[in-house]
Amino acid sequence: MTDVTILVDDRVGPMRPKGLQAEHGFSVAVDDVLFDTGQSGIAADNARRLGRPTAYDTIVLSHGHYDHTGGLPAFLPGAKRLYAHAGAFDPKLRDGGYIGNPYRRERIEADVEVITHTDPVEVGDDIYALGEVPRSYPDNPTGKTVDDDGNMVEDRILDDQSLAVDTDEGILLICGCCHAGLRNTIEHAESALDGTVRAVVGGTHLTAVDDETVHEIADWLEGRLDVIAPSHCTGADAERILATRFPELFVSVGAGSELAYPEITDR
């Protein structure tokens, strides 16, 4: 059984315990691994309200945007290692504003060992940080970054990675934002773990695509999954389409949702 607790999301899921908060961001505990930290200390506050730890030996960053990295200081005490793509520390900008990691790598390394990787790596028991995702289907880039020559260029967000949990029932895929594209990420997880993705939880960045594209992705997903629990950057329109297309599989989640895979009960 894999325990998944969403510590922060763009909305609150359950009504209890009282005091749970939401923000534009994502953070989830997958067994004893912390994946992303939200944009502030709210994820840690919610963890305490849920009776969950705020100290994790292992932290994984999905990518270097502020809404996934800003809550780091609340979780660094006690942490031993942090996994991320090297690009998670690159400058990231959009519409003239800074949207990247608020903390320089040197600042983070003062508190925790930083391990950068592009290949899949096991970060917990049967839990893998997938590293850089090959992209044969359309992806979901956003914003700008600065290249080695100091030029402002499109940010393809090559640092985007997801978590994959290898279970007897198939692969449980946890996405932070899925800028690499859901189809690309699923195929990469299946190749890396030599299995089949049966459940998807988290941000899918479908808010950035039109309804026709969401239906195209849903067509591709048809018959593949047992559970789909989208959140964060999926977008209300895309969630509505997925809920309509997959009524038996769709699970509505938010901050405070506690799932036990494969016995998903937070419906």
Contact 35, 56 (CB under 8 A): no
Residue type, 148: D
Q: How far apart are CA 211 and CA 213, in angstroms?
A: 5
Assign 208 a pLDDT band (cuts: 50, 70, 90).
confident
Question: How far is it, in rounded angstroms, from Cα 194 to Cα 19?
Answer: 41
Residue 267 pLDDT greater than 50, yes or no: no
**Quick one: average pLDDT of 14-20?**
95
pLDDT, mean over the chain:
96
Q: Mean of the pLDDT values across residues 164-174?
A: 97
Residue 264 clears pLDDT 70, i.e. is over it: no
The phi, psi pair for 27, rounded to 5°, reads -155, 135
Tokens of 198: 């049966």
* pTM for this model (two decimals): 0.97
Confidence of residue 263 (pLDDT cuts 50, 70, 90): confident
pLDDT at site 96:
86
Q: pLDDT tens digits for 79-135?
A: 999 999 999 999 999 998 999 999 999 999 999 999 999 999 999 999 999 999 999
The CA–CA distances, whole Å, from 64 to 97, 147, 160 equal: 15, 15, 8
Query: Which tens digits make up the pLDDT trace of 20-75?
Result: 999 999 999 999 999 999 999 999 999 999 999 999 999 999 999 999 999 999 99
The pLDDT of residue 266 is 46
- Are residues 23 and 42 in contact, defined by beta-carbon separation less than 8 angstroms? yes
Helix 182-193 vs helix 211-221: angle between axes, to the nearest 10 degrees?
20
Instruction: Name the residue ranges covered by the structural domains of the chain.
Output: 2-260
Please give the average per-residue pLDDT across 169-178, as a whole number.
97
| CATH among 1.20.1440.230, 3.60.15.10, 3.90.550.10, 3.40.50.1370 for 2-260 | 3.60.15.10
Q: Distance between terminal CA atoms of the chain?
A: 18
